Structure 1
């Protein structure tokens, strides 16, 4: 009996998830048709854009489009999802399919009652930095209305995970530190190729510990701050901890009045997991990186910013030979970032995956993670 219930539930969940993904795929297609050379396809796309007039780029509801939104978005979404659900009658028994249809119909009724308003479609003064990965919450879906050519998933995030449409790059302003280094220079190149607008900042010239006056204008222009500078031995504490946390805190403060949360990608290291391993040359580097990881966990959990922690295994750079090129490391990082990952493992050793559990759950301050004595 218990196995029958489990099978029933799994069949219903699969039907719901797949039928949702089918509409999300149609949603993506409608946006692609915006620039089609065929007038009919552009017309279909324009019908969908009524939904973005109902809940605009400013995340404010326009009641004038409420009825049009029902006809051109809500009902097509419902019918597409129902069709996708009924397809499962060819492989599953009818009871779980009926349950999904009933649930979707109830959801439709509730949305119609509220004239198109629901948990994911309401006015917002500010989009929060805490956004779902597998399941779509209101902050995640709000990003689609701020950046309409990404974030297509509606209930489950299957489509965006497959398509890599969980991060807007084209047209956004990126500020990259450490752009003369291997990782930073490769990141600048790939972002520019993807249509990003990239500005750079150099440690010791644009900023220094306790001196960030020259960074304010650059930070105010940036949508995304990418911290790729650092040091392995000389002044590792200031390079890997002090300037990282100071820049993130300043960027977050400057962006607290923005509609979309300020976004930060910060370069961590697998040394967070294995420490200095008794090697004197890694002691300062390990202490600074582990101390930053402890602060980074707070950023990761904060709603004030969207924080991504990038943890690579060694890559080839002026610091030494690595297991992969910096360009490969950046490509892997962007693969995960485009899919909405906030913890970004870039690894051939697998240690970055294991470090996820330490980063999220097992970090605690220790003597070797405090500022080294002067």
Structure 2
């Protein structure tokens, strides 16, 4: 067996394993879809799978009393489907590669049986990690499927959820939105409501003021997702674009510290994070405040205590000025990417937001940006 042939086998085995798990993900989706089917047999298959969700419930607690039923109603059928979904590829791939994948599935099945259905993805959890992963399915990622059974269907790669937009639960969740009267905030809340979200709004001067957030406490307690869509381009921009963003995120982080799933934040940034004020005097305070928040947001983005999404739109039409896309288009594109698991959300026609990802994640910000003076204002 020469090296080229061996490497070819490894590559084929990787393709077969990925494809076979994708086939299972498709079946997995339908097992949930069939719970309301008009066909009794399909509803029965769905009930079998529901046993698995009783074995590991929405609170991420394993119920040993369901272990035997989980074996026969979930583990055995899953193994059979995995083997059949693997063997079909013998028509296109080297049989040795296919056999190798079948042996992997067999070994994983044996380990699960040995441990009464428990494995790295199926165990008691008191707190999920805010860093759920994107390409590969992590224990936190799969745990989210048990918390939200109609989302997060992928089992190995997140390909299914990325393709079909099942990577972010929206229906039935409570969203607390700032800036909901602005162009983007209004468009986003309307689209969220159409998707079944429960919307609450937070108004500056009514629900909160800078350094005074107590009136917002009850709304934050109820919220699953905090959406920060407010902002300003005037002299008030520091309190609007930096201080209030950081304060609200930190308050929400404290409120959600004992939740099973970390609090989720959607914060609206700007492509000005990358290109700066471009020498335009009127843009300097706005650019400085947005860049200062982006520098601070890197910590939120990587924190295990939060699921933080950084939305970076190109210019859209609003009270702040005209853009080449409407706020509704910006909101639609944001949700398209968010539903596919993006935590950095480039909503762009310039590509600058895409390039800004490198700036946002990896390039150290100068101290002059990270420690820029904050102008004291009374608006947000």
Q: Please indicate the TM-score interval, normalised by the length of the shorter structure.
A: over 0.9
Q: Residue 144 of structure 1 aligns with which residue?
A: 145
Q: Find the aligned partners of 1:204 and 1:362 in 2 and give their Cα distance.
A: 37
> Does the aligned pair in 1 maintain the 2:295–2:369 contact within 8 Å?
no
Q: Find the aligned partners of 1:52 and 1:275 in 2 and give their Cα distance.
A: 49
Corresponding position: 1:289 with 2:290? yes
Q: CA deviation at 1:362?
A: 0.3
Corresponding position: 1:171 with 2:172? yes
Q: Find the aligned partners of 1:93 and 1:304 in 2 and give their Cα distance.
A: 45
Q: CA deviation at 1:112?
A: 0.8
- Unaligned 5+ segments in structure 2 are none
Task: Classify the secondary structure of the residue corresponding to 1:130.
Answer: coil
1:44-87 CA distance string (max 9 Å, x none): 11111000000001110000100111111112222212212112
Q: Residue 258 of structure 2 aligns with which residue?
A: 257
Q: Residue 59 of structure 1 aligns with which residue?
A: 60
TM-score under structure 2 normalisation? 0.96
Q: CA deviation at 1:163?
A: 1.1
Q: Residue 96 of structure 1 aligns with which residue?
A: 97
Q: CA deviation at 1:2?
A: 4.3
Q: Find the aligned partners of 1:287 and 1:301 in 2 and give their Cα distance.
A: 22
Q: Residue 322 of structure 2 aligns with which residue?
A: 321
Q: Residue 350 of structure 2 aligns with which residue?
A: 349
Task: Classify the secondary structure of the residue corresponding to 2:354.
Answer: helix
Q: Residue 218 of structure 1 aligns with which residue?
A: 219
Q: CA deviation at 1:372?
A: 4.7
Change (3 A) 1:371 1:271: same
Q: Find the aligned partners of 1:10 and 1:311 in 2 and give their Cα distance.
A: 37
Change (3 A) 1:313 1:53: same
> Does the aligned pair in 2 maintain the 1:36–1:42 contact within 8 Å?
yes
- Give matches, 1:234-249, under 5 Å: 234-249=235-250
1:10-44 CA distance string (max 9 Å, x none): 21111111110111111110101111122222121
Q: Find the aligned partners of 2:170 and 2:336 in 1 and give their Cα distance.
A: 12
TM-score under structure 1 normalisation? 0.97
- Unaligned 5+ segments in structure 1 are none
> Does the aligned pair in 1 maintain the 2:239–2:375 contact within 8 Å?
no
Q: CA RMSD in A?
A: 1.2
Change (3 A) 1:163 1:269: same
Q: Residue 194 of structure 1 aligns with which residue?
A: 195
> Does the aligned pair in 1 maintain the 2:253–2:305 contact within 8 Å?
yes
Change (3 A) 1:282 1:5: farther
> Does the aligned pair in 2 maintain the 1:203–1:229 contact within 8 Å?
no
Task: Classify the secondary structure of the residue corresponding to 1:169.
Answer: coil
Q: Find the aligned partners of 1:24 and 1:164 in 2 and give their Cα distance.
A: 13
1:305-352 CA distance string (max 9 Å, x none): 111110111111111111211111111111111111111110000011
Change (3 A) 1:87 1:271: same
Aligned residue among 343, 365, 371 for 2:373: 371
Aligned residues: 374
Q: Find the aligned partners of 1:326 and 1:202 in 2 and give their Cα distance.
A: 20
Q: Residue 273 of structure 1 aligns with which residue?
A: 274
1:351-373 CA distance string (max 9 Å, x none): 11100011110032332451256
1:178-206 CA distance string (max 9 Å, x none): 00001100111001000000001112321
> Does the aligned pair in 1 maintain the 2:238–2:375 contact within 8 Å?
no
1:277-303 CA distance string (max 9 Å, x none): 111111111111111111111011101
> Does the aligned pair in 2 maintain the 1:129–1:302 contact within 8 Å?
yes
Task: Classify the secondary structure of the residue corresponding to 2:52.
Answer: helix
Task: Classify the secondary structure of the residue corresponding to 2:362.
Answer: helix
> Does the aligned pair in 2 maintain the 1:177–1:228 contact within 8 Å?
yes
